[in-house]
A = this chain, B = another copy of it.
Amino acid sequence: MFRSSGPGIDPSRPVYVISVAAEIVAVHPRTLRIYEEAGLICPSRTESNIRLFSENDLRRILWIRHLTQDLGVNLAGIKLLFQLEERLGERILERLYEEGNKKSERAVAAAREGGRR
């Protein structure tokens, strides 16, 4: 499903520093920090406290983007949805809104292509 899910590549591995992550998902770094403050994402940190985002983090960000930009849900609503997801087992929201997710994944793939040029 994910371009980078090939052999030897772990989608949960933290690799992108905030400026790179922000460029890939086409969002201001400030916004990513706000998402983290709101408890919506939780990127890893290096020993020297620098945020590192994984592919899974990017996917989560694009999912948040879909909810806010396309559906108009605010951050409080997204937080509630994520809490629901935790309690009801993994991929319920995503199963329900697969089209949105596929869109997100295409966007990631495209963005990563673009970021690589």
A contact set with B: CB distance below 8 Å: 67, 71-74, 76-78, 80-81, 83-84, 87-88, 92-93, 96
Contact = CB atoms under 8 A, between A and B. Distances in A.
Contacts of A78: 77
Number of this chain's copies in the complex: 2
Contact of A73 (B71, B77, B87): B77
A88 B95 CA distance: 12
Contacts of A77: 73-74, 76-78, 80-81
Contacts of A80: 67, 71, 73, 77, 81
A72 B78 CA distance: 11
Contacts of A93: 84
Contacts of A88: 88, 92
Given A77-B80, A81-B84, A84-B84, 19 more contacts: A67-B80, A71-B76, A72-B74, A72-B76, A73-B76, A74-B74, A74-B76, A74-B77, A76-B77, A77-B77, A77-B78, A77-B81, A80-B81, A81-B81, A83-B96, A84-B92, A84-B96, A87-B96, A88-B92
